[in-house]
Amino acid sequence: MAKQLRSVVRLDKVKSVYTGNNYSIRITQEMENGFVVKLGDIEANNRDVHGMVVPTAGDSIVLIANPAIIYDNARLGSDQEKYYYMEKDEVVRGYEIAPHDVFSVSELGIDGTAVVGEYVVSGDGVKLVPSDTPATEGFCAKVVRKEAVGGALALNVAHEPTNYVVLEVLSN
C-alpha cells in the first residue's frame, strides 16, 4: 500500500524558536506540518493548551511545526517525515510568526503554485495561498526561492526530492 505524501516544514530563522511564543494547540481536524491555524481560546481545564480556529483571508496565523514522532519505523521508509501527520484532537506545537522570520514549507503545504518574487497569504483554510499582490492585513510572506532537498544521490530510483518554498514573513 502506497503511503500518502504530506507537507513538511523547516524553521529556518524563526524568532519564536528562541525568544518568542510557541503554543500547544488542540487541533480539530487532521493536520500536517506547515499548515497554519488561528490561535483559539485557552482550554478551561488546561491552562497550557489553546484551541484551534481555521483561518480566513486576512487573519494572523500560527505555524504548525510539530516534532515528527513516528512510532512505527519497522518497515523500510516508514520513518520519513514526508509521511507524518497529526490526528484530530491531538495537541501539537504551533509557532508565533513575526516579520522577517524565514521558514520553508513543502509545496504540498501551499494551496496552489507559489511563484518566486510573489507572495503567500492566509486564506480560507489551513494552507497558505499564493497571491500576486501583498496582503494589506493579516499574514503575508514573500516567496524568496524554491529548493529541492534530497533525492539527488539516492540509490532508490523512485526517491524524489522534497520541494520547499522558502518564505520571508512581511506581516502577521
pLDDT in tens, 76-103: 556 677 888 899 999 999 999 999 999 9
Q: Do residues 84 and 70 lie in contact, with contact meaning Cβ atoms separated by under 8 Å?
A: yes
In a domain, 2, yes or no: no
User: In this model, does residue 167 exceed pLDDT 70?
Assistant: yes
* CA 139 – CA 135 distance, rounded (Å): 7
Q: Do residues 6 and 84 lie in contact, with contact meaning Cβ atoms separated by under 8 Å?
A: yes
In a domain, 128, yes or no: yes
Domain count for the chain? 1
In a domain, 60, yes or no: yes
pTM across the whole model? 0.88
Domain ranges, residue 149? 9-171
In a domain, 141, yes or no: yes
In a domain, 1, yes or no: no
Task: Find the range with the poorest average confidence among 32-41, 44-53, 61-70, 161-170.
Answer: 61-70
In a domain, 17, yes or no: yes
In a domain, 51, yes or no: yes
**pLDDT class of 39 with cuts at 50, 70, 90:** very high
In a domain, 4, yes or no: no
CA neighbours closer than 13 Å in the CB half-sphere of residue 3 = 14
| Predicted local distance difference test score (pLDDT) of residue 155 | 60
User: What residues have CB less than 8 Å from 38, skipping those under 6 apart?
Assistant: 52, 53, 54, 55, 56, 59, 60, 61, 62
* CA 110 – CA 113 distance, rounded (Å): 7
Average pLDDT of the chain is: 88
